[in-house]
Amino acid sequence: MITGATFWIATAIKVFAIVFGLVNLGALLLWVERRQSAMIQDRMGPNRASIKLFGKEFRVAGLLHSAADGVKMLWKEDFVPPGADKLLYQLAPVISLVPPLTLFAVIPFGPSIYPDNLRRVFGSEGWNAAASYIPLHISMADSGILVVFAMASSGVLGAALAGSSSDNKFSLLGGLRAASQMVSYEVTMGLSLVGSFMVYQTVRLEQMIQWQVDHAWGIFVQPLAFLLFFTAAVAETKRVPFDAPEGESEIVAGYFTEYQPMKMGMFALGELVEVMTSSALITTIFLGGWQFPFLKLDGFHFELFGIAKPIYMSHLAVVIISAITFIVKVALLVLLQMQIRWTLPRFRYDQIMKLGWRILLPASLINIMLTGIVLLFVNAR
């Protein structure tokens, strides 16, 4: 691993890329969501916002609506309800936006880069084994996924504080709902991954990916856990069908009823960033992370029907393909989450609780037991 000044420079670049990328992709997702929902409902979607350049009108497929929204939000009056707790009211949007961004610190978005060996094939002759490497994730914390859980659960605070500090009964109800729902699904989220920990024998995400590269993707090893974790992750994002905290037919806009301009935008952005981080997490734990099928660190290894045909590639090419693979996997999962959001109706509040405590929690416990039994037999062999 690299040390010294290069380490800090590399880390700064990674942090900037991830924060800048996620926040901007959030605006892009707003567009994706609008246009995708339009396509699903046989509509055209927003496509009118235009910019005039050199006397010509450019509409850019409605992308500018996100920009227009941003401008609008920035210029609107920033109103604080008179009865609100000023500090907590201002703090809540920040608390709901920062955790999903922070969560990305431990998620690897590519294999480690060896800057000295970019043009060489991994492990071949001339490979400088002693060279320092840059891991493509920000934090090398040993706690790994535990950081993710800690950050994800602190996301509850944002919604709960927003609800309690805005001096509005609808907000309070929304905040309460959000808090209870997120705490409930946090349990399933953690327990459904215990089986994966048992299989991978680690909580560090880059080691999980390495296990999946060497053996098989998590979704084939832990299919039930994938389903449970996916459901819990969707519930964590507080989006349809789990959007009872902001159920507009009952409690106006839930916990952010009293928020108008950019603060409301921060809640919305936090939600979209959460969609991306949860997709990245699922990709990392269950879909092999940055691994392209059959791609090892030194190139492609097709081992089907007893025929082994390795195609060796330079380290740089492998890293680029891997990073793109990661992005594509995350994008597909985000698209799936959006599709689910526009397919299913909202669950009733008691149905959400029932699903969480009576179905998902026992199922995740059963998954742990089954995994343990299977591992016992596999290891005894």
Partner 1 sequence: MAAGTIVIKKPRRTAADQSFVVEIVKGLGVTFKHFFKGLNQMRPGGVRPDVTKFNYEEGIATLQYPEEKKPYARRFRGVHRLTLRPNGDVRCTACLMCSTACPAQCIWIKPAEYPVGHASRGHERFPEEFVIDELRCIFCGYCVEACPVDAIRMDTGIHMTALDDRGSFIFDKKKLMSHVSQDGDQLTANSRPEPGDAEHSGITRLKGH
DSSP sequence for 226-246: HHHHHHHHHHHTT-TTS-GGG
67 is an interface residue for partner 1 by CB under 8 A: no
Cα dihedral value 284, 287, 288, 292, nearest 10 = -120
Closer CB to partner 1, residue 28 or residue 140?
Answer: 28
Closer CB to partner 1, residue 41 or residue 379?
Answer: 41
Closer CB to partner 1, residue 48 or residue 309?
Answer: 48
128 is an interface residue for partner 1 by CB under 8 A: no
340 is an interface residue for partner 1 by CB under 8 A: yes
Number of residues that bind partner 1 (CB under 8 A): 14
- What's the closest the beta carbon of residue 195 comes to partner 1, in angstroms? 18
Binds partner 1 (CB under 8 A): choice among 9, 12, 39, 87: 39
Binds partner 1 (CB under 8 A): choice among 11, 36, 50, 154: 36
Residue at 333: amino acid letter: L
Residue at 335: amino acid letter: L
343 is an interface residue for partner 1 by CB under 8 A: yes
Taking CB under 8 A as the binding criterion, the range among 17-25, 37-45, 126-134, 174-182 that sits at the site for partner 1 is 37-45
374 is an interface residue for partner 1 by CB under 8 A: no
Closer CB to partner 1, residue 276 or residue 360?
Answer: 360
Q: 177-193: buried (b, 16+ CB within 10 Å) or exposed (e) per residue? A: bbbbbbebbbebbbbbb
The span from the CA of 352 to the CA of 190, in Å, is: 18
CB-based contact 27:64 (threshold 8 Å): no
- What's the closest the beta carbon of residue 235 comes to partner 1, in angstroms? 13
Closer CB to partner 1, residue 47 or residue 207?
Answer: 47
41 is an interface residue for partner 1 by CB under 8 A: yes
169 is an interface residue for partner 1 by CB under 8 A: no
351 is an interface residue for partner 1 by CB under 8 A: no
Cis peptide before 362 (omega within 30 of 0): no
- What's the closest the beta carbon of residue 155 comes to partner 1, in angstroms? 25
353 is an interface residue for partner 1 by CB under 8 A: no
- What's the closest the beta carbon of residue 222 comes to partner 1, in angstroms? 16
Binds partner 1 (CB under 8 A): choice among 227, 327, 374, 375: 227
The span from the CA of 201 to the CA of 366, in Å, is: 19
Taking CB under 8 A as the binding criterion, the range among 2-10, 31-39, 209-217, 264-272 that sits at the site for partner 1 is 31-39
Dihedral pair phi/psi, residue 169, rounded to 5°: -70, -35
The span from the CA of 295 to the CA of 287, in Å, is: 14
50 is an interface residue for partner 1 by CB under 8 A: no
Distances (CA, A) of 54 to 23, 59, 61, 266, 381: 30, 14, 19, 34, 73
Q: What's 123-151 look like in SS3? A: CCCCCCCCCCCECCCCCCCCCCHHHHHHH
Q: 300-331: buried (b, 16+ CB within 10 Å) or exposed (e) per residue? A: beeeeeeeeeeeebbbeebbebbbebbbebbb
Binds partner 1 (CB under 8 A): choice among 8, 20, 339, 366: 339
Q: Which parts of this chain interact with partner 1 (CB under 8 A)?
A: 36, 38-44, 227, 339-340, 342-344
